[in-house]
Chain A
Amino acid sequence: MRWLRFLIGLILALTLHSLLDNFFPNALAFFNPYIILVVYYSMGGNLFGAIIAGVVAGLVQDAFSGAIFGLHAFALTVCAYLVAYVNSRLVLRGTLAFGLSLIGSVLLNEIVIYILVNILLKQRIDLFEQGVVVKTILTSIFGMLVYQMLSLFLSEEPIEATRRPSGW
């Protein structure tokens, strides 16, 4: 059931991605629906599930974007793991906690991508700082709205945490 919901979320994210590509080209430079899904899923605190979610969502994003294949998967996996790790130790619930997690994840995601692009392609990302700020704001606002709607109308909560001891 968890994976079914994740799959539906992934299809919705891809749908949003396609819609934005169709009607607002370059909108994905300022908005990332996949990270909302990954953070939402990772809030459950399941480390393994978060890793899988990050990899799958990232690969789908990579497959349908012009990035290096694996770039977003790598960045999203890192974010998913960290969010799940924190949530496996702290009980973070509510829109604010989700929003903070999302903001941190977006920032981390962009930093990881920036570093990887620098290392692998030896390129600088133009207007990186501005892009990060805009993407963080837009993605966080949209993500929090989605979270709020799921909480209010569907009585939806992030996938129940499977609390387990750390793997270290």
Chain B
Amino acid sequence: MQVAVERRPTLIFLIVLAVLLVLMTASTRTIRGVGETRTLFERTVMTLFSPVPKTVNRVGQNVSDAYHGYVDMRRSVAENVQLHRRLTELTTENLVLRQTHGDLSRMRALLNYSDQVSMPTVMAQAVMLDTGGRFKCVVIDRGSDEQVELNDPVVSATGLVGRVILTTKDLAKVQLVIDSNSAVGVLLERSRRQGIIKGDGRGMLTMQYVPAGTDVVVGDKVVTAGIDGIFPKGVPVARVTKVEEGKDLFKNVTCAPLADLSNLEELIVLRTRKVPDAVVRYGH
């Protein structure tokens, strides 16, 4: 046999080719018996050599995982740095936007309020606020150059702030309604009973000259009466917080200002010009 093989390689070659041809034919046609043999043969070859592709696949997968893990890690680190930077930017931007939003809301409220008031107005910004001293006042950044005059009422988005008591070219001092020297003619919005509201010097207001029989309860809103020649009618001033029977014919009504006088920013100066010059002169 050995001799035959060595002497007849071409014959062996042809036999091998014939066998392979049969294998191929079996692969393309269904031949009873041969098909199973071919499948078995193919399966055997695959089984014998299967460790190679399995190992390659496993190693390749590990290498690929390691590479992608490394790449992902590098990407994550870079992304993390970017996200941190972005977070800082967005936080800053958010702060600015919140500030702007707050400003805008206040401005809108002021503008709406300004629209409701049919009189010339001047927008102003609180520069200095003094509510801790004896005199309660705020300095605004608008003065006589912007036609801000003495006794011009000053309001915020939520209510009456006070009146201008001093002007310079570019600044004005506003006496707050909670100042003990402040007095405003007001009325109870619900019962329409008039009175005078004064600052108690401690941040609250006292409504005076409210007759004993007046229908006034805690929570009633107090607005300007428009009778003092300074403040226009209907400006919200305060809300009743306490009602007591007085010694005389009047009740003791304590109120809280509607405007947040401890935190003033944007203000509106109402140029009413209703006070006669003689009264102004008399006042001074």
Contact = CB atoms under 8 A, between A and B. Distances in A.
B10 A59 contact: no
**Chain B interface residue number, banded:** 20 to 34
Interface stretch (B53-61, B168-176, B242-250): B53-61
B56 A15 contact: yes
A64 interface: yes
**Chain A interface residue number, banded:** 35 or more
B6 interface: yes
A12 B95 CA distance: 64
B60 A19 contact: yes
Interface string A6-34: 00001100110111011100000000000
A154 to B, nearest CB: 22
Interface in B34-48: 38, 41-42, 45-46
Contacts of A21: 53
A18 B52 contact: yes
Interface stretch (A65-73, A102-110, A137-145): A65-73
A158 B272 CA distance: 113
B134 interface: no
Nearest to B11: A167
Interface in A50-67: 51, 55, 58-60, 62-64
B42 A62 contact: yes
Contacts of B109: none
A98 interface: no
A74 interface: yes
Contacts of B11: 167
Nearest to B46: A63
Interface in B1-25: 5-13, 16-17, 20-21, 23-25
B24 A68 contact: yes
Contacts of B17: 74, 77-78
B30 interface: no
A14 B24 contact: no
A164 interface: yes
Contact of B16 (A51, A120, A166): A51
B56 A70 contact: no
Contact of A48 (B6, B20, B52, B56): B6
A22 to B, nearest CB: 5
Given A15-B56, A48-B12, A121-B28, A70 B6 contact: no
A14 B9 contact: no
Contacts of A147: none
Contacts of B5: 48
Interface in A98-132: 116, 120-121
Top 5 A-B pairs ranked by shortest CB distance? A70-B23, A47-B9, A167-B10, A18-B56, A18-B53
Interface of A: 10-11, 14-15, 17-19, 21-23, 47-48, 51, 55, 58-60, 62-64, 68-71, 73-74, 77-78, 81, 116, 120-121, 164, 166-168
